[in-house]
Structure 1
Amino acid sequence: MIHGIYVKHLVRHCDDRGFFMEILRDDDNLLSRFGQASMSKTYPGVIKAFHYHEKQDDLWFFPVGSAQVVLYDLREDSPTKGETNVFYMGEDNPILLVIPKGVAHGYRVLGSEPAVIVYFTTLSYDRQQPDEKRIPWDDPAIGFDWRTQNR
């Protein structure tokens, strides 16, 4: 796994009314500090990739729908520089994923329904100087094949 990536498996407490699930607690120690919480809805088949941050870490959670999440380690000083990790996240696999600064990340919505991502960052978004560097979804240096692998 890419150095600095953390996964927290979430636990659903189910009963005849539905379920309850904790997402993030201060004693999880997953973020160095809290900056902002945001939410986005993405339509089926859409690829939102790639970007990375120089100053902030992200923590991603998909409470609705399903997504193929791709990470690529860009950090020069990382023991896992150049490695790619793929995670399948969503309502059927409720996990939190910590993405450190310097790791490119993006996702593709799977299935026929939209996906909702709720994400937390260690810094608030700065509209004047956004900490968001873009890389094309099909960047040859990353070389990720986003097509579904039919087996």
Structure 2
Amino acid sequence: MIQGVQKKQLVKHADDRGYFMELLREDDPIFGRFGQASMSASFPGVIKAFHYHKLQDDIWFFPSGYAQVVLHDMRPDSPTYRQTDVYYMNEETPYLLFIPRGVAHGYRVLGTTPATIVYFTNMAYDPQQPDEYRLAYDDPSIGFDWTTKFR
């Protein structure tokens, strides 16, 4: 696992009315400082990758759909520098994924239905000074192959 990345398994409390699931609390060890909460939906096959931040940490959650999440450590001083990790996030096995600043991240929607991502950041987005640095989804320095391999 890339240094600094954290995965928090979520617990659903279900009964005959439905379920309740706590996502994030101010006293949660995965939580730092609140900046912004956002939500986005993407259609099947869409790849949203890659970008990273120099100041901002992200916490990702996929409440619906299926996504292949790819992280790549861009921090030269990290023991996991240039390491790439893959996570499969979906509605059936819910968890939060903490992505520290300096780790490039992106995802591809899997399956035949849209995926929804809810994410929390430790900073609010500033359009005058955006803390977003983009790389192409097929950037050769990362070298990730997004194609699904059939056996």
| TM-score normalized with structure 1 length | 0.98
TM-aligned CA deviation for residue 29 of structure 1? 2.1
The aligned counterpart of 1:150 is: 150
2-structure distance, mates of 1:16, 1:113: 26
The aligned counterpart of 1:129 is: 129
Asked if the contact 2:45/2:110 (under 8 Å) is kept, the reply is yes
Aligned to 2:130, the other structure's residue is in SS state coil
Instruction: Note the residue ranges of structure 1 that are not aligned, 5 or more in a row.
Output: none
* Residue 18 of structure 2 is aligned to residue 41 of structure 1: no
2-structure distance, mates of 1:40, 1:126: 18
4+ runs deviating over 4 angstroms: none
1-structure distance, mates of 2:138, 2:76: 21
The aligned counterpart of 2:114 is: 114
Cα deviations by residue, 1:30-79 (Å, 9 ceiling, x for unpaired): 13211000000100000000000000100000001010000000001000
| More displaced stretch, 116-125 vs 14-23 | 14-23
C-alpha root-mean-square deviation of aligned residues, in Å? 0.7
The aligned counterpart of 1:76 is: 76
1-structure distance, mates of 2:33, 2:141: 32
- What is the count of residue pairs matched by the alignment? 151
**Equivalent pairs: percent with the same residue?**
66
| TM-score normalized with structure 2 length | 0.98
